[in-house]
Structure 1
Amino acid sequence: MAPPYRSMVTDSAPAPRHDGTVTAETVTPDGWQRDSGALVRRFEFVDFASAFAFMTVVAALAEELDHHPDWCNSYNVVTIELRSHDVGAITERDVRLAARINGLLGGVDAGLALDGLVEGDGMP
């Protein structure tokens, strides 16, 4: 049985895959900031369980869109960075995923209201 992960070391790089054009006019979704070539947002929840529930839903969404975030979780805080690694910049795929993540906050996607989100969750 193969492990549920794969090594990041490969003999050849995967073919580039992106469907967006990198432009200075690319939209920045509400609550997100541009930092070091990525869309970044910090989410603060009331506890670890709420933060982990959010990450679980975002993981399913990322699989659906075949576009996966870089993220960090420390107890009740989740920080998400979105960039298209194949082009080393923000593309429409990142903007689309950020908008869908924003939709999760109001329970729009997956029928899930994330009541554990702390008000004023934006980055400082």
Structure 2
Amino acid sequence: MSETLFDDTRGPLLDPLFANGWSMVEGRDAIEKHFKFKNFADAFGWMTRAAIWSEKWDHHPEWFNVYNKVHVILTTHSIDGLSALDAKLARKLDSL
């Protein structure tokens, strides 16, 4: 089971993500990012690659897709907040 990110671990894990376009979701202990692609096929292909990693790590994003845009929200539902797994998945999504 994942553990909530505490103050001493939040900065080192989240600050690099914030520098790369992620932000906190207002009113939730969650992070979000908007991704934009050339077209729908590129967005859907990225989502497919992301889904494979999400399944592998048993950690699934909340996401919304319209044409070439994907809005991703990450939080660990079992603890109702951010965990190290959210930071790990965010880094993977950025690398795809």
Q: TM-score w.r.t. structure 2 length?
A: 0.83
Aligned match of 1:5: none
Please say if 1:22 is aligned against 2:5. Answer: yes
Q: Secondary structure at the match of 1:63?
A: helix
2:21 counterpart SS class = coil
TM-score, structure 1 length as denominator? 0.66
Which among 38, 41, 46 is matched to residue 46 of structure 1?
38
Where does the alignment leave 5 or more consecutive residues of structure 1 unmatched? 1-16, 105-124
After TM superposition, the structure 1 = structure 2 runs for residues 1-124 of structure 1, keeping only pairs within 5 Å, are: 17-18=1-2, 20-24=3-7, 25-26=9-10, 27-28=13-14, 29=17, 30-35=20-25, 36-104=28-96
Q: In the aligned structure 1, how far is the partner of 2:71 from the partner of 2:4?
A: 25
| 1:23, distance to aligned residue in structure 2 (A) | 1.4
Query: Structure 1: which 4+ aligned runs deviate by more than 4 Å?
Result: none
CA contact (8 A) 2:4 2:81 kept: no
List gaps (5 residues or longer) in structure 2. none
Residues of 2 paired with 1:85 and 1:21: CA distance?
11
Kindly indicate whether the alpha-carbon contact (under 8 Å) linking 2:4 and 2:79 is maintained by their aligned counterparts in 1: no
Q: How many residues align?
A: 87
